[in-house]
Structure 1
Amino acid sequence: MNEVISVAGLTDYIQSLLEDDRILQRVWVTGEVSSLQEHPKGLFFTLSDSDAAIKCVVWGSQKLKLMQQPSRGEQIIVLGSLRVFNKRGEYQLTVYQCLATGEGLQALRYQQLRNRLQAEGLFDETRKRTLPTHPKIVAVVTSATAAAWGDIQRTLSQRYPGLMVLLSPAIVQGEDAPDSIVQAIERVNIDGRADVIILARGGGAVEDLSCFNDERVVRAIVESTIPIITGIGHQRDESLADLVADYRAHTPTAAAEIAVPSYTQLVLEHQKRIQHLINSVKDRLSEEIERLEYLKTRLKRFPQTSPQLIQATAKCHLLQQKLIALDPKAVLQRGYAVVRGENNQIIRSTTEVKPEQALSIQLNQGTLKVKVIEIS
């Protein structure tokens, strides 16, 4: 005969089996909400399918954190852990998260990844790089057969003629898309010629754009040494690639418009600057002419008998007389002469000359060329 145990012992044994099971500590369960009861402590409901049912509870502290509130007759997915209640000999699922079926699980994974990347600071504006004002080379990462590639080429050629555009082809839809996009971005960085990268894809269904929510693509954008502009889908679409990119445009065409300035607009702005410079010079010239006329008028009105003018005139005469007295030509007029050597230096003593040396003597009128015969 087997050992007999109590009801409590049996329940404790079942509790240890269920609650210690790693799978049952965090399990996803899908089913239909067949009953629902609001309670001050939380939300109690039954999740069932055609073969079984399980009681569930969402405690009040967790209720507001649910992405989807349970509703009677609705098919949902819940995340919870199994708990055993000894006194009643029952078990139920303590629910932490609730999603609508279909895209619910995918939405949860997206949100979890987004929260993790945001916590790393990858969405911070301070991390993002400045776009070049006048790029010489633009690289485009997209499908070579996509309409987005044609739209970008046309927009770039119209806005900025002469620009070099490089295509780094990539698959932008399906299971192989994330790796293909990562490799295309890496090719551009290894090449090193591009000043900016446009990562683009036209609009589509949510599942078609899922590759741009892939963590591999997000980190490739972060690790790129070249600034990246995204132009993915339509204005309503937002991907993790958009959030981490240095600049986000709503469409591929808009991304091309952001990447380069408008040549026509640049010409107009340059013409405006030239005209502004011409106007500034004309204004300054006009101001100086007016000032000159003003000074002329003041000078004409200045009285000839003004004490200041008389004093200044007398001082000028005195200085003029001093200049005349110091003028070497005045000394020559009194009968003196200046004797110069071969290098035009002035001779002041007989020790500075030698016999047979040629000298020049400057008189008041004319110059004599002489030769030294005797020194005494």
Structure 2
Amino acid sequence: MESENPVIISYSPAAVLNLFNNSISVNQIKRIVQLKGIYLQGKGNQYSGYFYDFFRDEASDAAITILVPPLIRNEMRPNKTVTVNGFVTRRVINSSGSIQIQLTVTDLVEQTQNKYNDDDLRKIELMQQKAVNGYRDVYSWLKEKIINEEPFKVGIIIGKTGIIDNDIKHQLRESIGFYDLNFHRINLISEEEIVTTLDRLNNENYGVIAVSRGGGDNLDIFNRFKIAEKAVTLRSLFITAIGHKDDVTLLQKVADKSFITPSELGQFFNDVFNHTVEELHNSKARLIESVKLQLSANYEKQIDNLNEKLKANEELRLSTAKSLELVYQEKLVMLNGQLASEQKLQSERIGLLNEQITDYKTQVTELSGRSSVNWTMLIIAVILGLIIGYLLKGN
């Protein structure tokens, strides 16, 4: 039985979008729902009796478009945490081939102060930006520099009267000869001076920049948005060691690596150096042993190959000699046969010649005999002629 060809239905892009739009069905579309978020105003243009504004999560970037009637919009304040009632709608966007989820506001339920103020939101956005850019692996970066013996500069920003440089140097111990440490003394309570110094060291191509200070309170300076923003944009790796265990500042949160005390920073540098050198020595030892084993294996393999070649050559030589011997014997037999044939032929030729000579001798003898008879007859004839002549004359 022949199968029928399926009918191909042709759709336009708009038809496909509307097909999926009509197929989406959730219970929340059929009833009023409550939505809570930070209210953000749109461009302020009204379409079909609604303003197109936004609701954003308090602690993330998730957002949804809301359609707000003018009367309710007048009561809503931007950047406030707002709770509204409404119903979920969908909007087909033909130009991008997408379906947008929206909320049409019907009631304003509550409007309260945000859980986070504007500065907090900016800090959250900055930490999100750092997360997107990525926290760089300081340990691996230092390890690579040590292995490749690539020089780099470490700029450590400390207070003008601080003595923590000695603490850091003391912890470095024998590794201090490797690190090119440069301490920069500034006023650590000046936002402008900190930002300027970070920017200068970054432009001077320091491999690592660290901000370090001793213990104590007064950490508000390290929560300043401007300083943290500059730290996020640094090309250099950024480290903090600002000496406080419980209160984690914004600057620490955006740093590639943080330490509680300056001594821990020095200890970290020393540990990275020693661990890397130890691993390098072990790796070299393993590499040398591996190379030895590999060379030994290669030499043994080469010797085996040479022995096999010698054996093959010897077998080839013997085989060749044997083959040559067989060829020689065959040729010798053939030559002997040819010689015997030549000798036989020669004997036959000699026999034939002998027979011919005998025949010739016989013929000569016969001829000789025939010649003697003729001469006798001739003589007898002559004598008879003389006698007859004489007789006739006498007569």
**TM-score bracket for this pair, using the shorter chain length:** 0.3 to 0.5
**Greater CA radius of gyration, 1 or 2?**
2
User: Higher helix share goes to which structure?
Assistant: 2
TM-score computed with the length of structure 2 as normaliser: 0.43
Give the TM-score normalised by the residue count of structure 1. Answer: 0.45
